Chains A and B, each alone.
Chain A
């Protein structure tokens, strides 16, 4: 499957925090709602980040900095020069390299105490129900509707919370789907016809908005792990960077939802390219080779 596990050489393991870890995480640990118990929850947690790009970069970075014990990355793409305006895990020297490798290196350089698992192929109907159950929480940073519906369905069928985020131009959206409390299909029952909603590659995106939305997603992950605060469940946060206005819309579980409704018709993963009317994702040659090397 192109999976690999990364951990910095000599990185300490075990249950007790080392003095270095206590110092590293001290600004979290001194907060009452976190404390040593919460820090241990973070270390024992595992989070899968779908996409190591604009959103996945800040999400994974903050998870690693905070000491989330195991971070999974799913991405099949290679770093392109046009990514570097916003994808903060990759640098100029990484152009042409698989994103999961440059992301893994960056995360371990920031914090050698975490484990970074890489899944160097597209998330598909064939592998999603193998990968997602390995993690506690799923973060969606996908750049296409087919993968968004796939991640939604697979997270729901696996009983996992999905922390969702999306961006375009100067706008961002974020919400959290907990099984049984609404899902992406409740909010958007069907994708737009192909070509109607442009991608970031077609329309552009403000680099900094990826940091805003990704940071919100990471924050929601922390809240889920720590069991604190009011999660962004049942609410859709809309961010407009130009007006700098934040809106909160209600999201409800749709009783007619084919996935999580009262009489669901979707019990297994489907063909999402067909559902979205889009061609299958093409795996970049460099990424495929690298994934194989790390299988």
Chain B
């Protein structure tokens, strides 16, 4: 089941500048693993050393944070859209 993942510009250097990537996966975790298979190193963005999604990154499924759902074990359905969004700090300088 392909899932479409939105990649914001700060992470696009990891996906060959692709803004959307479609990978197979039944859960968020499976999709993240598939992303890492397709783009080695992607898992360093979305997992910390303990294998958790770091607090400065939010993963959304259909615009809802997975923290509201079942975390990385959130099950996905056909047509679901994911987004991996980091905190940004730029503003003044």
Name A residues whose Cβ lies closer than 8 Å to a Cβ of B.
51-56, 75, 77, 80, 83, 140-145, 148, 165-173, 187-192, 196-201, 203, 205, 210, 238, 240-243, 247-252, 254
Q: CB within 8 A of A192: which of B9, B87, B93?
A: B87
Binding site for A on B (CB under 8 A): 6, 8-10, 19, 54-56, 58, 60, 63-65, 67-68, 83, 85-93
In the bound complex, CA of A17 to CA of B69 (Å)? 53
- Give, as a whole number of angstroms, the nearest-CB distance from A59 to chain B: 10
Q: Are B10 and A203 in contact (CB under 8 A)?
A: yes
Measured in the bound complex, the distance between the Cα atoms of B72 and A240 in whole Å is 25
Tell me the minimal C-beta distance from A109 to chain B in angstroms: 21
A167-B90, A249-B58 given. 9 additional CB < 8 A pairs?
A51-B91, A143-B92, A165-B91, A168-B88, A192-B54, A197-B86, A240-B8, A247-B63, A254-B67
Q: How far is the CB of B51 from chain A (nearest CB, A)?
A: 16
28 chain-A/chain-B pairs, Cβ below 8 angstroms: A51-B92, A53-B92, A77-B92, A80-B93, A142-B91, A143-B90, A145-B87, A148-B89, A166-B89, A166-B90, A168-B10, A172-B88, A173-B85, A188-B58, A191-B56, A191-B87, A192-B86, A196-B56, A197-B87, A197-B88, A198-B10, A200-B93, A242-B9, A242-B19, A247-B6, A247-B63, A249-B64, A250-B64
In the complex formed, the residue of A with least CB distance to B89 is: A145
Contact of A56 with B92 at beta-carbon distance under 8 Å, contacts A170-B9, A250-B63 already known: yes
Contact flag A252-B56 (CB < 8 Å), given A170-B9, A173-B88: no
A63 shortest CB reach to chain B, Å: 16
Residues of A within 8 A of B64 (CB): 249-250
Distance A169 CA – B67 CA, assembled complex (angstroms):
26
CA–CA, A205 to B92, complex, Å? Answer: 11
B88 vs chain A, min Cβ distance (A):
4
Q: Which residues of A contact B87 (CB under 8 A)?
A: 145, 166, 187-188, 191-192, 197
Give Cα A251 to B65, complex, Å: 8
B92: chain A residues at CB < 8 Å are 51-56, 75, 77, 141-143
A76 and chain B: residue at smallest CB distance = B92
Query: Of the candidates A56, A75, A171, A210, which one forms a contact with B9 in the assembled complex, judged by CB atoms under 8 Å apart?
Result: A171
Who on chain B is nearest to A184 by CB? B87
**Bound CA span A170–B8, Å:** 9
- Give chain A nearest CB distance to B59 CB in angstroms: 10
Least CB separation from B90: chain A residue: A200
